[in-house]
Amino acid sequence: MQIKNNIEIINVEEINPSTLQLSFNVEWTMDYKTAVVDYVLLSLSAKVLEVLQGADLHCLRIKYSGYEFLLNFEEYSHACWLECITEQDLTGLQEIKLLLSSGS
């Protein structure tokens, strides 16, 4: 499955003030999460601070423009969401929403 060059974010939905759900134009599995992660990080010019790996959940603590977030991937539901770590990160989340929505 060649998805690396075909990935796009097609929808950015605000689930609540501290969480954005991201939808992609491709079905991804944990086998291909690296390509999806790389796409999101490149789109945001974000840096990975920490990686937490579970059986069906992959979580990255990332830094974007001075703000920190958790970027989560859950395999069973094919869900991807970005959540604020602290209340101070809410402004950054709105910046990300605008940035990612402009490309979708």
Instruction: Please check the confidence at residue 2 and state whether its pLDDT lies above 60.
Output: no
| pLDDT tens by residue, 7-50 | 899 999 999 999 999 999 988 877 778 889 999 999 999 999 99
Burial class (CB in 10 A: 0-12, 13-18, 19+), 71: buried
Q: What is the pLDDT of residue 1?
A: 45
Exposure letters 22-55 (e unless 16+ CB within 10 A, then b):
bebebebebebbebbbebbbebbebeeeeeeeee
Domains and CATH numbers, the chain: 9-102 (3.30.160)
What number is the average pLDDT over the span 52-70? 92
Q: What is the pLDDT of residue 24?
A: 92
Q: Count CB neighbours of 5 within 10 A.
A: 7
